[in-house]
Copies of this chain bind each other. A is one copy, B any other.
Amino acid sequence: MKDSVFLKITKFDDAFSQLQKFSYPMEESEKVPLKESLNRILFRDVKSPIDVPDFPGSSRDGYAVISADTFGAEEDKPVLLHSVGEVCIGTKPSVVLQRGQCVKISTGAMVPKGADSIIMVEYTEEGNGRIKVYRPVSPGDNITKVGTDLKAGEVVLRKAKKLTVFDSGVLASIGLSKIDVFRKPKVAIISTGNELVTPGQRLDAGKIYDVNSVTIHQAVLESGGAPIEFGMLPDEYSLILEAVESALSSSDIVLVSGGTSKGPGDLMPEVIQGIGTPSFFVHGIAMKPGKPTILSSIRGKLLLTLPGYPTSALIVYYTLVDPCIRKMARQPPYRFQIVKAYTSTRFYSEIGRKEFKPCRISSRDDGRFYVIPMPTGSEAITTLGKADGFIIIEENVEIVGENQEVDLHVFPHKVEKMNDPMGEEL
């Protein structure tokens, strides 16, 4: 395997579709309290166990009456009814209405048996235990019938729906306090590299702080996965093998960063070989950044190895891993907001690699937006943090001329800023 597949470069689009093919949507469910269900994916169709409302209710403040009693009532010839009590909201009426009787009722209260309509309080007058009714009502007037909103047995929300605040309202209204949703894919995160130190610890000479453990963790949350920390490992074959084996057995996806190239400390190809035969294996993708990325599926789990360099890792995450996790989590794919802009300068790219080029956006007097590439040779996270998104330069393109229209793919966290593209931001 080593000689034939390693760094046999795969086209980005092929790598993407192979990874998608091996990204299996979750099949298992878990029960969550309704309050915690926001943005989760519904596991099955939900049918209402009750009619909503499940009692006939008054839609007005007034009197519950028998409509036949009000026939002929006029402004100057009111009908007189005998008031036999009051129904307050939330209580079960104790009376059964007889001809000639009425019951005071509030909006939302249950209509007593015998009554078939509500006369609004505006068309009545009270006095001496009698109620003068100045207008006739018809059967059903001002009554919200049982099942007006929902009928028992009706499907209220369908399987695979992403739950919103309003959906939670619907589910609460039919009495559910917990709900079955698809389990989130568990995503194990492992950083590798002898040079790495956990933030908060002392930085010895020659070391740098581990960035990927934090950024990938947060990115996984945004994709709808459940990140699991497997920590930071030195470049030691047996330690990495052990961690990856353990992660594979307890997670749905394993994301390793670092160890992807052919340098002395880059052990992941060997680790994969040590675990078994992958059912799919891509090492080397014709993309920039991200060339040394390894995609593989082994023991039915995805094992993805991102470049160690934090900004490369994030670009690979957003272009390949995020669509994979969302598919597994059954979340809708993220659609990059596109801003039409023009190149501020010539852009050079390497033939044979699809380039994701981080850019800032700027406006000019001509009212157009222009994309400005981030300075080359400075791929630090501090620089990338200031980029608004990226433009894509296809594999077969070497130069994009000045003033060409391009699509800026806005980074998810810059979408708010794009509403006010010139807004100040450090």
Contacts and interface: CB of A to CB of B under 8 A. Distances in A.
B89 A205 contact: no
A176 B200 contact: yes
Contacts of A217: 35
9 contacts: A88-B264, A90-B194, A90-B196, A91-B206, A161-B425, A165-B215, A165-B218, A165-B413, A175-B197
Interface residues of A, number: 93
B148 A109 contact: no
Consensus secondary structure, chain A interface: loop
A177 B200 contact: yes
A263 B106 contact: yes
Contacts of A213: 172
A156 interface: yes
Interface string A140-184: 000000001110000111100110111111111111111000000
A203 interface: yes
A125 to B, nearest CB: 18
Given A89-B195, A90-B195, 20 more contacts: A34-B199, A34-B214, A35-B217, A55-B205, A87-B206, A89-B193, A90-B193, A90-B234, A93-B206, A164-B414, A165-B314, A166-B384, A166-B385, A166-B411, A169-B214, A169-B215, A173-B381, A175-B209, A177-B198, A332-B416
A110 interface: yes
A128 interface: no
A4 interface: no
A291 to B, nearest CB: 14
A56 to B, nearest CB: 10
Contacts of A419: 335
A172 B209 contact: yes
Given A157-B426, A165-B218, A169-B211, A110 B205 contact: yes
A78 interface: no
**Residue in A34, A165, A204, A215 with the greatest tally of chain B CB atoms within 10 Å:** A165
A384 to B, nearest CB: 6
B92 A206 contact: yes
A244 B35 CA distance: 22
A91 to B, nearest CB: 5
**Residue in A52, A158, A193 with the greatest tally of chain B CB atoms within 10 Å:** A52
Contacts of A426: 155, 157-158, 161
Contact of A61 (B55, B92, B263): B263
A50 interface: yes
A221 interface: yes
Interface string A32-52: 001100100000000000101
Contacts of A55: 205-206
A222 interface: yes
B215 A172 contact: yes
B148 A88 contact: no
B177 A221 contact: no
Nearest to A174: B209
Contact of A149 (B54, B158, B210, B382): B382
A323 interface: no
A332 to B, nearest CB: 6
A373 interface: no
A169 B317 CA distance: 14
A95 interface: no
Nearest to A93: B206
B194 A91 contact: yes
A284 interface: no
B173 A211 contact: yes
Nearest to A156: B382
A31 to B, nearest CB: 12
A344 interface: no
Given A89-B194, A380-B52, A426-B161, A208 B173 contact: yes
B195 A35 contact: no
